[in-house]
Amino acid sequence: MKNILVLGSEGFLGSTLVPNLLKSGNTVVGVDKCFFGRNNPKINGFKFYKKDYNILSENFFSNFDFIVDLVNISNDPASELNKKFTNITNYSNKIKLFNKIKNNLKLSRYIYMSSCSVYGNNKDLITENSQPKPISLYSKLCLKYEKYLKSKKKLPFTIMRLGTLYGWSNRMRYDIAINKIIRDMIFLKKIEILGGTQVRFFCHNEFACRVINKIISENNSKTLNKVFNIGNFNTNIIKLSDKILKLTKFKGVSVFHETNTIDKRSYKVSTSSAKKFEKNNDNFDKMTNRSIIETFKEIKRDKEPFAKKKITLSIYKDFLTKNKV
């Protein structure tokens, strides 16, 4: 049994990760400011602190075997709303965290959640050795902190560059492509495509959690001080809509295509690293298709699919309005 700290435990990925880690027999502590509310129920083995992790002492962090850092303003448009606040959250505060945990001899691994957005616009097939070309402030700060971690060599780390997430979560999001497409086709009977030719790498949130769990459970040199691109599949947005409609067999949907888009990101990422974390690589595509179908079934049951709290950009706008950061 391992003692694990999850920073950002109540967010989209965190509220999926905590139950996953608990099922594996771990003790989990969550820390979150609760921008998006409290999303993990009270569960045996889970202790929660509604706090800014920066106010916690070095002694607090010394109790953990593993730290999973999910804290970021991780929506590209949201990161541009207040650049000062984004710089503090996504970089400056992480340097403070690093200095509090760098001397923790008990710590087996610090797992940092980065993003494949660091690749920006790239026509080549991406691997971990490809040259990053970040466009947004979010992706630039991800890369900046990655470089900081690598340069210090005082902390056992693993960096996960996630594809665009999708899937059901206790802290549901409809500002991410697959979730939004499924919601709109179910409840509005339409799909709006912006651009459409840009390629994205997509990652099911449950798969991301399994990768984190495996890194923790195995805790070996294969993942030590390394970077991994994690996701399930690549496609452009037009083909994505077709794929979802075909898999779910959902009928009567109108598709609207707006060719202009301000989003210049486009990248195709190799799944070779991601597949190493699955026992049976032959079923990787089938697993991906099942994850889309399961996401469809969960969203279909959503009683509040258009709640403002499920749009990350709206939450940050409200926060920045109420708090003069």
- pLDDT-based confidence at residue 67 (cuts at 50, 70, 90): very high
Mean pLDDT of 76-94: 94
Cβ-contact 82, 137 below 8 angstroms: no
Query: What sections of 109-250 are H helices per DSSP?
Result: 137-152, 177-187, 205-218, 237-248
Is 130 among the domain residues?
yes
pLDDT at residue 259 greater than cutoff 90: no
3-class DSSP assignment, residue 204: strand
φ/ψ region of 100 (left if φ > 0, alpha if ψ in -120 to 50, else beta) reads alpha
What pLDDT is recorded for position 69? 98
Residue 242 is assigned to a structural domain of this protein: no
Considering the domain boundaries, does residue 241 fall inside one? no
Which has the minimum average pLDDT: 47-56, 73-82, 171-180, 239-248?
73-82
The reported pLDDT for the residue numbered 263 is 74
**Whole-number pLDDT of residue 117:** 95
**pLDDT for the residue numbered 140:** 97
Q: Long-range contacts for 273-276 (Cβ within 8 Å, ≥24 apart)?
A: 273/127, 273/128, 273/228, 273/229, 273/230, 274/203, 274/207, 274/211, 274/228, 274/229, 274/230, 274/231, 274/232
- Per-residue model confidence (pLDDT) at position 262: 65
Phi and psi torsions of 17, nearest 5°: -70, -45
Q: Residue 208: what pLDDT?
A: 98
Classify residue 88: in a domain, yes or no.
Answer: yes
Please state the pTM of the whole predicted model.
Answer: 0.96
Distance between first and last Cα of the chain: 40
* CATH code for the domain in which residue 232 is found: 3.40.50.720
Tell me, yes or no, whether 125 lies in a domain: yes
243 domain residue, yes or no? no
Task: Kindly report, residue by residue over 179-218, the tens digit of the pLDDT.
Answer: 999 999 999 999 998 877 889 999 999 999 999 999 999 9
The beta strand positions in the chain, using DSSP E, are 3-7, 27-32, 46-50, 66-69, 109-115, 121-126, 157-162, 164-166, 190-194, 199-204, 226-230, 233-236, 254-258, 266-269
Structural domain range at position 174: 3-236+248-252+259-322
Distance CA 87, CA 136 (A): 12
Give the mean pLDDT of 18-35: 95
Please report which confidence band the pLDDT of residue 43 belongs to, taking 50, 70 and 90 as the band edges. confident
- Number of structural domains (the chain) is 1
